[in-house]
Chains A and B, each alone.
Chain A
């Protein structure tokens, strides 16, 4: 199937940050069409399109929208642009190079859910991205797409851009809400879910940049068109275009927009193949939190279900590719350091667990590891996963767990070396 880019049409070719250029490419037609529809009709269309959340969990966006209670409290829409999963940079491209698509998506989503105030929570490091968004919002306002009585209808909308200040955990939706409320970015206990008690205690929708960027196209071209986009039609549960960030040991690392369900092998080939022709060793298909895939998984279609069946998760589709020269134990130490640095410290199992994981990997890499350390890592999987408020703790043990399962020899090499130096 010939695939034409949807979300990144024109990116790197024309300057889409200019509203006239975006309009000339068909921009804001989705909004115009949406405003002629009933709000519930839009929610139904997005449900029918089976738009799965692109932020990692893959929860259907339309279903999420349906959870908002109708009790007269104000409702808010919050866009998660706190892209901080290591290996992921597709939101950066979508914000810096195509901001109007996101704004159009927000306008449609807010209209569909009878929301009049939206927030974009953008990570602090994207300072220019925030400036680009503010500029785009002003351009949209000047054209009558934003503000009061949009395009002559009764619909009004304000969008506020809120910059974070450097915390991975604020990508977790309830931590994001706390940060947006001016608090420390600590995740909240769920339930209640944000759809019921969210921002300022009110019903709140939180969606990722990429998810919302899909909305104008679904409304403009219909749910059927959207569901027809898939490289793996045998799995109808995942569909649509997906941004893949390919990084690591490939010839042309970059952001690639591909139909969901493209196999891992194809993704690597599209990114120029393995660097210097070296052999593929492993890949993480969805950022640092996703378990490893090995050479036996190269033909896995990259959709939510197939990657899960292979023992990993699609996550943010940030494909990090490792070749034979990469020491996966060294990678483990990087992840351990990262999670221990970014743990918010609320839950003991995560705060202490990530700390000790870092110490154990350091010890192993320094040549002082033994079998007890390997057992400790295996034990930590059960002690840390599923025992905390948010899933950072789980994410921290996915990689070590898959390393033990798929590449035990990587660790054994270190343990064996340690034994030779210091026999028991």
Chain B
């Protein structure tokens, strides 16, 4: 599989046409309505998020862009130019869980994130941008800071924070994902203050579980 998340290796013929313009009709209408009249273009970003959520493989296909272009009154090429600017839009299929390791300085150099990435590459045989053969996990190492430097090193599991990650903890996380238990036990509940430790904090558990 290609390493470049923006490569256009998936052609329009290989993927089914998007179903979200039909199945999510109300949600699409609500998104467009959030912006002032005549400013439908603003809906490009939220609709790209939506199309990615709805498509199997969680990526943006050319046919998705065409559908968005029609809704927003712009050209497909325009949607493509916007899509390619932002790092979170994927242009080819990714795994069920996108695990994003913060590759910025505090997490990576001081927090030990670089060793974590080495561990993942060695243990699971995937490099940045690659997916495990079973389609469960895609590894991504960001250039951007994930904004949890106080809890370095952090990883995102489908944009939910798992903090103070160690190779051992990561193995536990992957085991939970493989067994179908999901990542919940490893996720941060809420950001804390004053260097409080997430592990010792009991908090308001029932509320956090809903998310």
Contacts and interface: CB of A to CB of B under 8 A. Distances in A.
A87 B149 contact: yes
Contacts of A341: 143-144
Interface residues on chain B, size class? 35 or more
A12 B208 CA distance: 13
Contacts, number: 192
Nearest to B100: A125
A335 B144 CA distance: 10
A88 B118 CA distance: 25
Nearest to B148: A89
Contacts of B2: none
A89 B45 contact: no
A154 B176 CA distance: 53
Contacts of A18: 207
Interface stretch (A49-57, A181-189, A407-415): A181-189
B108 A334 contact: yes
Interface of A: 5, 8, 11-12, 14-15, 17-18, 74, 83-89, 91-93, 96-97, 117, 123-128, 131, 160, 162-168, 179-185, 200, 245-249, 251-257, 271-272, 288, 318, 320, 322, 326, 330-331, 334-335, 337-338, 341-342, 344
A248 to B, nearest CB: 5
Nearest to B85: A184
Given A125-B159, A165-B86, A200-B36, A255 B41 contact: no
Contacts of A320: 105-106, 149
Interface string B189-206: 011111110000101100
A176 to B, nearest CB: 12
Contact of B193 (A85, A251, A255, A335): A255
Given A88-B149, A163-B49, A272 B41 contact: no
Contacts of B74: 182
B35 interface: yes
B147 A123 contact: yes
A253 B105 contact: no
B143 A182 contact: no
Interface stretch (B9-17, B129-137, B150-158): B150-158
A288 B196 CA distance: 24
A164 B86 contact: yes
A246 B87 CA distance: 27
19 contacts: A12-B203, A14-B204, A97-B190, A127-B159, A165-B88, A167-B85, A167-B86, A167-B144, A182-B42, A182-B82, A183-B41, A183-B82, A246-B195, A249-B110, A254-B195, A320-B149, A330-B109, A331-B109, A334-B108
Nearest to A330: B109
A404 to B, nearest CB: 19
B194 to A, nearest CB: 6
A246 B150 contact: yes
A398 B105 CA distance: 16
A331 to B, nearest CB: 6
A384 B107 CA distance: 28
B87 A165 contact: yes
A252 B195 CA distance: 5
B39 A181 contact: yes
Q: Which DSSP category, helix, strand, loop or mixed, fits chain B's interface?
A: loop
B92 to A, nearest CB: 16
Contact of A88 (B110, B147, B192): B147
B128 to A, nearest CB: 13
Contact of A162 (B45, B89, B196): B45
A97 B105 contact: no
B86 A256 contact: no
Contact of B145 (A14, A85, A249): A85
Given A245-B149, A255-B194, A257-B193, A182 B81 contact: no
Given A89-B191, A334-B108, A117 B36 contact: yes
Given A166-B88, A248-B106, A93 B42 contact: no
Contacts of B211: 128, 131
B138 interface: no
B44 interface: yes
A387 B7 CA distance: 32
Given A253-B150, A255-B150, A334-B108, A181 B42 contact: yes
B109 A83 contact: no
B43 interface: yes
B56 interface: no
Nearest to A322: B110
Contacts of B87: 165-167
A166 B193 contact: no
Contacts of B43: 182
Interface string B28-40: 0000001110010
Contacts of A182: 41-45, 72, 74, 82
Interface string B41-59: 1111110110000000000
Contacts of A5: 193
B17 to A, nearest CB: 23
Nearest to A249: B110
B191 A166 contact: no
A11 B193 contact: yes
B146 interface: yes
